[in-house]
């Protein structure tokens, strides 16, 4: 999982990568201790900085987990929905979470033109996402 964030005073974004095991059938994600600490630190930054935003980058998925290019993007978008809910479960305000890179190509990491995404409203969210939970 790759999560980016940008502080209001920073000229560049900071990129964090955290290890997570996704179980879509059980609607759960398991984080190791280091990843849990990183996510909690990201949420703490959001509480400190009023202009803090988090972007979830889609398009970074393991090709061995999907049988077609369309399936690969669907898997990545599903993971992004889980990461968004993970951040919300740690206390991150929904209005500060954005998703980038929903096209077939890798995202450019540009911060212009961000749009808040509601996956369920767009019909791309999985039914099971509302039953999401974080496991130890």
- Read off the pLDDT of residues 70-111 as tens digits, 9 standing for 90 and up: 556 666 677 777 777 777 877 777 777 766 655 444 443 333
Q: Which of 93, 82, 72, 105 is nearest to 20 (CA)?
A: 82
Q: How many CB atoms lie within 10 A of CB 47?
A: 11
Q: For the chain, where are the E strands, in sequence order?
A: 2-6, 14-17, 20-23, 28-31, 53-57, 97-100, 133-135
pTM over the 0.75 mark: no
42, 97 Cβ separation under 8 angstroms: no
CATH (one of 1.20.120, 2.115.10, 3.30.1330, 3.30.70) for 2-135: 3.30.1330
Q: What percent of the chain has pLDDT over 70?
A: 26
3-state secondary structure of 84: helix
């Amino acid at each position: 999982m790759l999560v980016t964030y940008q502080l209001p005073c920073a000229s560049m974004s900071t990129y964090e990568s955290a290890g997570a095991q996704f179980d879509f059938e059980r609607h759960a994600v398991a984080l190791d201790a280091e990843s849990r600490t990183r996510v909690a630190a990201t949420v703490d930054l959001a509480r400190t900085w009023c202009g803090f935003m988090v972007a979830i980058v889609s398009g970074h998925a393991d090709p061995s987990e999907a049988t077609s290019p369309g399936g690969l993007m669907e898997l990545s978008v599903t993971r992004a929905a889980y990461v968004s809910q993970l951040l919300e479960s740690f206390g991150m305000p929904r209005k500060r979470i954005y998703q980038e890179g929903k096209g077939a190509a890798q995202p450019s990491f540009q911060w212009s033109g961000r749009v808040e995404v509601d996956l369920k409203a767009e019909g791309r969210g999985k039914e099971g996402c509302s039953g999401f939970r974080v496991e130890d």
